[in-house]
């Protein structure tokens, strides 16, 4: 059965299949169903719905959602996850890190309000003049907010006991956008994708997948290494950036205190004692705040709307302290605009941003 529905500002073409919720594409539904059908507890109904997509048919969300809910609530699924966590926590410190790779962090229903999206936009420096980002009428949500919504998985990974999350550092982030974020509940799935041993430190990559986006958080564990894990794959050094646009952004002294209200309550961003224990001069700005600020600036530099971001990959290389001046250089001469942010002579973030 095909469900057709008009959405505000958008009319679905004749015969379009709407799955999971109005506005979800067949492609994103297929990704979700394929992941679900791979689970040993996937029901025959779930596999049947996936087969209907493969045949080019549609289906009513009401037929699918009960199967999804039953799978997520499965005692066996929850029991397997808890057993995995218990096994990790009972091992030695070195084995804990080795066992983390591939760990399923489970599902989380995420929800946010228009006010939450507006707070995020303001926290990354959006002007009140950009009305569709700060006014609930015809509101558009900045895509990088999805990274903030997926932080529960980073917290869940730290709760496994293999490392002290309060001493971890967020050093990299990637984001792929499948469809616009909307202020309504949606499901996310978290997992630890890889763990790398660099001798004196460890790198943990944590992934979050949703119908609207996929995000990977790269976390550095300083002083924890040499446990026999695989080293990270070699990475290519990008060519020096030749900017076609440069500008500056003043980071307010309360920037980190404001941004943490979007959901990242890591104490290194507010507690001077925690920051000092990590060898920092004081609380630092969130990496995702820097990413959000730069994404907004890059959009303006290339003539795009910041809500039209489709992909980004960035690396955080030095801390940003509230109260500084952030210098941003952009090379808009490629499909993916390259950007580099620096404070005085130190590069603090570099990466790529692609807009639709």
Identify the structural domains of the chain with CATH numbers, from first to last.
26-98 (no CATH), 102-355 (3.10.129.10)
Higher pLDDT, residue 4 or 124? 124
pLDDT of res. 8: 35
Higher pLDDT, residue 338 or 91? 338
pLDDT of res. 10: 34
**What is the mean pLDDT of the segment spanning 86-114?**
76
pLDDT of res. 71: 47
Q: How far is the C-alpha of 203 from the C-alpha of 221, rounded, in Å?
A: 6
Residue 77 has pLDDT above 60, yes or no: no
In three-state secondary structure terms, 339 is strand
In three-state secondary structure terms, 216 is strand
By percentage, how much of the chain surpasses pLDDT 70? 73
Closest CA to 339 of 216, 219, 220, 238: 238
Contact 289, 259 (CB under 8 A): yes
Classify the C-alpha dihedral 237-98-168-352 as positive or negative. positive
Per-residue pLDDT band at 293 (split at 50, 70, 90): very high
End-to-end alpha-carbon separation of the chain, Å?
32
Contact 189, 35 (CB under 8 A): yes
**187-191, 206-210, 221-225, 247-251: least confidently modelled range:** 221-225
CB atoms within 10 A of CB 249: 18
Phi, psi of 129 (to 5 degrees): -70, -20
Residue 42 has pLDDT above 80, yes or no: no
pLDDT of res. 269: 94
Q: How far is the C-alpha of 283 from the C-alpha of 2, rounded, in Å?
A: 53
Q: How far is the C-alpha of 86 from the C-alpha of 162, rounded, in Å?
A: 11
| 346 DSSP β-pair partners | 343
129 burial (CB, 10 Å; 0-12 / 13-18 / 19+) is: exposed
Higher pLDDT, residue 226 or 56? 226
Per-residue pLDDT band at 37 (split at 50, 70, 90): low
Residue 4 has pLDDT above 50, yes or no: no
């Amino acid at each position: 059965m095909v469900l057709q529905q008009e959405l505000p500002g958008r009319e679905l073409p004749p015969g379009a299949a709407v799955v999971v919720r109005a506005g979800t594409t067949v492609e994103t539904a297929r990704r979700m169903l394929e992941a679900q059908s791979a689970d040993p507890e996937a029901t025959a109904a779930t596999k049947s719905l996936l087969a209907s997509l493969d045949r080019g048919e549609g289906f009513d969300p009401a037929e699918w959602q009960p199967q999804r809910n039953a799978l997520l609530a499965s005692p066996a699924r929850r029991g397997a996850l808890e057993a995995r966590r218990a096994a990790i926590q009972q091992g030695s410190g070195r084995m804990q890190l080795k066992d983390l790779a591939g760990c399923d962090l489970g599902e989380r229903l995420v929800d946010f309000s228009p006010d939450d999206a507006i707070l995020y936009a303001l926290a990354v420096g959006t002007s009140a003049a950009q009305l569709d980002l700060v006014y609930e009428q015809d509101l558009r949500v900045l895509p990088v907010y999805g990274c903030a919504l997926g932080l529960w998985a980073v917290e869940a990974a730290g709760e496994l006991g293999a490392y002290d999350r309060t001493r971890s550092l967020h050093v990299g982030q990637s984001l792929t956008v499948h469809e616009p974020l909307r202020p309504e509940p949606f499901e996310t799935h978290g997992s630890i994708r890889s763990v790398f041993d660099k001798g004196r430190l460890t790198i943990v990559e944590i992934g979050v997948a949703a119908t609207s986006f996929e995000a990977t958080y790269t976390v550095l564990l300083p002083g924890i290494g040499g446990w026999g894990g695989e080293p990270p794959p070699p990475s290519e050094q990008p060519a020096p950036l030749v900017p076609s646009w440069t500008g500056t952004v003043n980071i307010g002294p309360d920037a980190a205190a404001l941004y943490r209200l979007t959901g990242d309550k890591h104490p290194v961003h507010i507690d001077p004692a925690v920051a000092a224990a990590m060898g920092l001069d004081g609380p630092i700005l969130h990496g995702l705040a820097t990413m959000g600020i730069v994404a907004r600036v890059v959009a303006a530099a290339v003539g795009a709307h910041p809500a039209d971001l489709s992909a980004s990959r960035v690396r955080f290389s030095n801390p940003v302290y509230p109260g500084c001046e952030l210098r941003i250089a952009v090379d808009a001469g490629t499909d993916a605009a390259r950007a580099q942010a620096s404070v005085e002579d130190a590069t603090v973030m570099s990466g790529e941003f692609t807009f639709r």
